[in-house]
Amino acid sequence: MSYFVTGTDTGVGKTLVSCALLHAFAGQGKRVVGFKPVAAGCDDDGHNEDAKHLREAGTVRASYGQINPYCLPQPIAPHLSARHVGARIDFSRIFASYDELAGQSDEVIVEGVGGFCVPLNEKQDSVDLVKQLAIPVILVVGMRLGCLNHALLTMRAIADAQIECAGWVANVLHADMPALQENIDALRERILVPLLGVIPFQAQPDAREAAIHLNMSLFVRPESDA
């Protein structure tokens, strides 16, 4: 099985939740691997920090290039970052890496870039990528001022695209967010898929600790007829 982890915006904790999922599934004895198809912002070695975290959290040994086929230099919108270096994000390259990883693992956790609708090239965006991967989405909601609007708009976009949403995760970004529980309750009343977990504020994000707060029983799927 695979899941695509998207967020209400950039910087809401997609990598934390993706790595937490990898640790949680690994704890069930599954072979797991993270996949970051597109990353914007890389170090002098041409590697992205989020992609490195995903690679470290997995149990399947894969090359960096398999896990992150597109690592673009500037931390800006990916289609612009690609354009600035004369590149273009080609979905066929992404699918080839995904198929390699899926063939070696029980669970592939695919982490998106930016928000759900971010452009990836001149004609395609992350919505197109998820639809062609044909895997369920998990929405990470960064709990901060404005999160209700961002979460509900993103859920509407997911529904409009007729993409399956497995659930959402509330990631608390500020230790003193006003009306935190009321905001979570407001989203639970309006989002018709399961709340998979509430990750408390962490001054130093720790994916293993975050994994404890995920309700893994909600990921159980019925066995297919064989």
Tens digit of each residue's pLDDT (9 = 90 or more) over 132-169: 999 999 999 999 999 999 999 999 999 999 999 999 99
State how far the Cα of 208 lies from the Cα of 106, in Å rounded to an integer: 19
Q: Please name the residue ranges forming H helices in the chain.
A: 14-27, 49-57, 64-67, 78-84, 91-102, 126-133, 147-160, 180-190, 207-211
pLDDT at 45: 87
pLDDT for residue 201 is more than 50: yes
Beta carbons of 158 and 131 less than 8 angstroms apart: no
The yes-or-no answer on residue 36 being catalytic is yes
How would residue 79 be classed by pLDDT, with cut points 50, 70 and 90? very high
pLDDT at 152: 98
Tens digit of each residue's pLDDT (9 = 90 or more) over 115-126: 999 999 999 999
Per-residue buried b or exposed e for 7-19, using 16+ beta carbons within 10 Å of the residue's own CB: bbbeebbbbbbbb
Q: Which CATH number fits domain 2-219: 3.10.20.740, 3.40.50.300, 3.40.50.920, 1.20.210.10?
A: 3.40.50.300
How would residue 219 be classed by pLDDT, with cut points 50, 70 and 90? confident
Crossing angle between the packed helical segments 147-160 and 180-190, to the nearest 10 degrees: 20
How would residue 1 be classed by pLDDT, with cut points 50, 70 and 90? confident
pLDDT at 169: 98
* Average pLDDT of the chain to the nearest whole number: 95
| Phi, psi for 184 (deg, rounded to 5) | -60, -45
How would residue 221 be classed by pLDDT, with cut points 50, 70 and 90? low
Catalytic residue among 14, 30, 36, 123: 36
